[in-house]
Structure formats: C-alpha cells, structure tokens
Amino acid sequence: MNVKAWVWNEPCEPIALELTEREIAEPKPGEVVIENKAVALNPVDWKLVRSKTNGWQVGHIPGVDGAGVVVACGEHTNVPLGTRVAYHFDLTRNGSYSTHTVVAARGLLRLPDAVSFRDAATMPCPGLTAWQAINKFPVAADRDVLITGGASATGTYMIQLAVARGYRVWTTASGKNHARLLELGAEGVFDYHDAEWHEALMRGLEGLLLYAAIDNVGAKHAETLAPLINYNGHLVCIAGRLAAAPLPAFTTVISLHEIALGAIYQYGRDQDWPILRESGAEILNGLAAGTMKTPPIEAFEFGKLNVALESLRTGTQTGKLIAEL
C-alpha cells in the first residue's frame, strides 16, 4: 500500500523530516491497517528524531499516537472494517506520522461514538502513562498526592484520574495554568518557578506528609520530593528512573516506581494487553461522558507536521499538538 508519510533518514532536528510517498507492509495475522484521521505529537517523538541510538533505519516513520478507522485486516484478525479506534504504538516500528499505519489489533482502543478522532488522539501515550502511574500504589482515599508538571498532557490526565480515585491532589505548573488545573479538581497548584514551593506545599498539607508523589520532570527532580513523602509512601518517576534509594535505608521506607509504557512491546505478555485496553477504555469513556477533559488542543494540517514538531521541541507551542488528516 502506498501512503504519504513523514520519514526519518538520520538523526536530525524535527524540521528536517521529509514528507514523501512510500509503501508500507501488508498487515500480518493479528494486525490491521488504520487510516489515520488524527495524529498526536509527543515529546518522545522529537527526542527520538534527534537520537543516534534508537535503531531506526533510513526511511523510518516516527510517531506513537494516532486515531482513525480500520480499513484492512491481516489473516485471522476479526476487527470489523470501519471500526473507530485510537492506538499507542511500538517505537521501533513504522509509526503514526503517516496517512495509514499498520498496528497490532491487540492494542486497539475502540472509540465511543461521542469521542472525536481529535480528542481520542490526545489520549494514548499521556493517558495510558497517567493510568499506569496512578495505579502503581494502592488506592487510599483522602490521602495527599503530589503530581509535578500538572499542565502537561500526562499531568492533565493524571490529575483527573487521581481525583476520581478520591485523592487530594496537589500539583505544580506555571502561573498561566493554575486556573485550569484547579478546575480539573486539584486542591492546590504551586508555581515551580518559586524556589519556596516546597514550603508552600507543606503549609497546604497542614502538618501532614504526602502519601505519594508522581514526578514528570526527571530523576534528579524526583529525588528532591522524597523528604515530602510519609512513612511507607510512594515515589513514581515518569521521566527517567531512580537507580538508588534517595533516603537512608530503614527510615521512611518509601517505595520507588518507574514507568515505561513502551516496554510492553518487548516485555509484556498476553495477560497484560487486556489491562492496557481497559485503562484506555476508562479514560475514553470519561471523555464521552464529559467527566474527563482533554488537554488544550492545538490542531494543524498534516502537511505542517515537521514545523509543529519543531515548535514542540522549542517550547513555542504549549497545547497538545494534533495533526488532522
């Protein structure tokens, strides 16, 4: 099948990706072809485009998130043609920056009728990551949870999932995003530019400590959160991981957790995929019911994808970037 796709030929800035016509493989048993209607950009995309260590070959198609319609199926794959779906995809295979993408059927997230392709495309990578992070620790309603980087797409979904589970949620973001995050249910929002935001959080906690902290910034930043966590609490790292305990042994004995959504493609087993689909369904059904909100969306034409990805890298665009086909 011939498609139009943005291709990667060597480590480069996003602006250097090339839009070309190329052939994609026919679907194998257990695979389907998705005609993409909306494609989401994620920070991992531009990071890999610039990387020398991702194992990509010349002509690779980047992109991990998309939403569209099933238009062809491999042998013994019983997905009705025309099914509306969203998907997250294996970073090592040709991805979503294309008019069509070959996807494993076991990872498809079926869309409720009320959810648009644009809204659905915002969800897979950040939403599934958020779901995994929130479910790293046992539910304990009315406990305090900190989510750093709350204005990101991942943070947006994470705050809402945490609130739905009964936590009091605290988060960090620049001042322009505070009102939006409070509307999502956050108890308090602190400006990470303020060197004393830890102290402001402690005042808000009124003598308590955190049950859990979920860090969207990086391993070094996550280390600074460890003293804020109560005995037997939890520290979850989204960006990177902690290779060693951040506090002395046998003190607050907090549990350390790492998140790697893409690792399911190499290390996941058959029993893991229904759980992933169920987590996606929880969020998509929330979007359909109006109990869950997407991050702010900035839509653009598919032919301008390289420009949009460059703007994501440089930080000149702050909404969730969605290419519409």
**Which pLDDT score is estimated for 317?**
78
List the chain residues with pLDDT less than 50. Answer: none
d(CA 71, CA 99): 12
* Secondary structure class of 235 (helix, strand, coil): strand
**Which pLDDT score is estimated for 149?**
96
d(CA 1, CA 97): 15
**Which pLDDT score is estimated for 70?**
98
* Secondary structure class of 167 (helix, strand, coil): coil
**Which pLDDT score is estimated for 87?**
98
Q: What letter would DSSP give residue 194? A: S
**Which pLDDT score is estimated for 288?**
98
d(CA 278, CA 131): 10
**Which pLDDT score is estimated for 265?**
96
**Which pLDDT score is estimated for 318?**
75
**Which pLDDT score is estimated for 295?**
97
CA distance readout (Å), 116 to 66, 69, 99, 167, 239? 12, 12, 17, 29, 29
Written as six digits, the tokens of 320 are 């969730």
> End-to-end alpha-carbon separation of the chain, Å?
18
The gap from C-alpha 227 to its chain's centroid, in whole angstroms, comes to 27
The pTM of the full predicted model, rounded to 2 decimals, is: 0.96
The gap from C-alpha 9 to its chain's centroid, in whole angstroms, comes to 25
User: Domains in the chain, please, with CATH?
Assistant: 2-126+263-324 (3.90.180.10), 137-258 (3.40.50.720)
**Which pLDDT score is estimated for 1?**
87
| Radius of gyration of the chain, Cα coordinates, nearest whole angstrom | 20
Pairing type for strands 100-104 and 31-40 reads: antiparallel
Nearest Cα to Cα of residue 277 among 80, 95, 116, 124? 124
Neighbours of 159 (CB within 10 A): 30
Contacts of residue 225, defined as CB under 8 A and 6 or more positions apart, other chains included, come to 146, 148, 210, 213, 215, 235
